[in-house]
Amino acid sequence: MNLICPACKKEYPNGLETARHVMGTGDKKHRDWLASEGENYGDLLVLQATNPGNASYMVVANLIEKAQKK
């Protein structure tokens, strides 16, 4: 099942790839969407840099998957 970026409507094969797109793009549209979901882009970057694995990507992937169900 492909997922659609809630900020720009681009399609990706899964939540993790969509999360990488959101975090990698980091423009105002994507940061605003994260803020609307209660997350701070800067805090997520710090989380990603200071924790092993894909910690912030998993947080964003969960948000994206929930947004698809709305």
pLDDT digits (tens, 9 = 90+) for 16-35: 999 999 999 999 999 999 99
Give residue 56's pLDDT band: very low, low, confident or very high (50, 70, 90): very high
Q: Is it the case that residue 38 has pLDDT exceeding 80?
A: yes
What pTM, to 2 d.p., does this model score?
Answer: 0.91
How far apart CA 55 and CA 41 sit, in angstroms, is 13
Give the CA angle between residues 9, 15, 21 to the nearest 5°: 55
The pLDDT, as a whole number, for residue 15 is 93
Mean pLDDT of the chain: 94
